[in-house]
Amino acid sequence: MAAEIIDGKAFAATVREKVAAHVAQLKAQGITPGLAVILVGEDPASEVYVRNKGKQTLEVGMNSFEHKLPADTSEAEVLALIERLNADPAVHGILCQLPVPDHIDEAKVTNAIAPEKDVDGFHISNVGLLATGQKSMVPCTPLGCLMMLRERHSSLSGLNAVVVGRSNIVGKPMAALLLKDSCTVTIAHSRTRDIEALCRQADILVAAVGRPEMITGEWVKPGATVIDVGINRIPAPERGEGKMRLVGDVDFASASAVAGAITPVPGGVGPMTIACLLANTVTACSRINGLEEPEGLTA
Ligand code: NDP
């Protein structure tokens, strides 16, 4: 039987609705959540992301503060801006779009953001809190994956989860979240032996590799839930010369014939990431003001 397609676009819309409802409640109390985004340099992909983030921030009723800085901005200037935003009561979430130019130390910038305003969840304090199962700001992409998994499974407890990929922004926090929800978690990576057999044991299979269509139906346990984080651009000559198309890390055609549920690419995890950034901003704003957190928008 063909797998259920998990519609990330529709799910993200419901997340944004919940965020907008909570923003309205905060506004009624005289508080408008604000998200500040810093972009250093002119990377075209980053500019698109930042534009989308700003647009969606405004759409849910929050304030958006964009700080576009030239590529030759010094590290000290970026750090000074972060210090100002940390102290600004109108700003509840801060993110610095990565990658930053080479002359700027990414870790220094990430760790300069006040942990309670760190809506990307990359600050070392938030990483430590998540790793020890404590309340933290959670990275947006794994948070989006978790929300979709919780929607599909009434409980994740005891399920076998395999996360392919061990990056700090996806693989590791994803594994920490699944562990927190009592899955039995294995992290696979480029040195993992017999990765195919390992994946075939997974009730939940999360692919965050960056290799187009690497995981085929033969890797998937019948009935498993497959979450494809990968976004890969591959040539699409069938669409015309020089044309490209997006595919995930999972071979959708073969995997969807075996899985119980699966996220497509595009339209799966991707739309959830910005929705979770908005969710994190409203959560941060509530926590900073000592108010109740929005329900269903946190880990
Ligand atoms: P990284 O490149 O940082 O990490 C990739 C991971 O995959 C590494 O841990 C690497 O292992 C592992 N890996 C690479 N090749 C293999 C292999 N042949 N077998 C097993 N494991 C392998 O990537 P990210 O985590 O940043 O991103 C992963 C994918 O997710 C990308 O396609 C990216 O574009 C996408 N992405 C999508 C987002 C969204 O919003 N949907 C957000 C963020 C990322 P090792 O550590 O051993 O090298």
Whether ligand 1 lies within 6 angstroms of the CB of 230 is answered as yes
Domains recognised in the chain with CATH numbers: 30-117 (3.40.50.10860), 140-271 (3.40.50.720)
Ligand 1: which of 189, 195, 213, 247 to mutate, judged by most atoms within 8 Å of the beta carbon? Answer: 189
At which residue do the structure tokens 């693989």 appear?
171
At which residue do the structure tokens 């992409």 appear?
141
Whether ligand 1 lies within 6 angstroms of the CB of 16 is answered as no
- pLDDT tens-digit series, residues 70-106: 999 999 999 999 999 999 999 999 999 999 999 999 9
What number of residues does the chain have? 299
Q: What is the pTM of this model?
A: 0.97
Quick one: which atom of ligand 1 is closest to the CA of 232? 32
Quick one: which atom of ligand 1 is closest to the CA of 192? 20
CA of 208 to the centre of ligand 1 (A): 4
- Bond into 271 cis (ω within 30): no
Quick one: which atom of ligand 1 is closest to the CA of 249? 32
> Whose CA is closest to 120, among 139, 100, 106?
139
Residue 284 burial by CB count (10 A; 0-12/13-18/19+): exposed, middle or buried?
A: buried
> What pLDDT was estimated at residue 287?
97
CA of 269 to the centre of ligand 1 (A): 14
- pLDDT tens-digit series, residues 143-170: 999 999 999 999 999 999 999 999 999 9
Q: How far is residue 267's CA from residue 263's CA, in Å, rounded to a whole number?
A: 8
- Bond into 99 cis (ω within 30): yes
Give the mean model confidence (pLDDT) for residues 236-264. 97
- pLDDT tens-digit series, residues 19-76: 999 999 999 999 999 999 999 999 999 999 999 999 999 999 999 999 999 999 999 9
Ligand 1: which of 168, 170, 277 to mutate, judged by most atoms within 8 Å of the beta carbon? Answer: 170
At which residue do the structure tokens 């329900």 appear?
295
Distances (CA, A) of 245 to 113, 189, 206, 238, 242: 36, 25, 21, 10, 10
CA of 82 to the centre of ligand 1 (A): 28
Cα torsion through 100, 56, 278, 229, rounded to 10: -70
What residues contact residue 241 under an 8 Å CB cut-off, 6+ apart? Answer: none
Q: How far is residue 94's CA from residue 236's CA, in Å, rounded to a whole number?
A: 37
Whether ligand 1 lies within 6 angstroms of the CB of 171 is answered as yes
Ligand 1: which of 209, 229, 280 to mutate, judged by most atoms within 8 Å of the beta carbon? Answer: 209
> Whose CA is closest to 65, among 105, 38, 84?
38
Whether ligand 1 lies within 6 angstroms of the CB of 168 is answered as no
Residue 1 has pLDDT above 90, yes or no: no
> What pLDDT was estimated at residue 5?
98
- pLDDT tens-digit series, residues 172-228: 999 999 999 999 999 999 999 999 999 999 999 999 999 999 999 999 999 999 999
Whether ligand 1 lies within 6 angstroms of the CB of 229 is answered as yes
At which residue do the structure tokens 């994946």 appear?
199
List active site positions.
53, 97, 120
Question: How many other CB atoms are found less than 10 A from the CB of residue 273?
Answer: 22
- pLDDT tens-digit series, residues 255-282: 999 999 999 999 999 999 999 999 999 9
The distance from CA 20 to its chain's CA centroid, rounded to whole angstroms, is 19
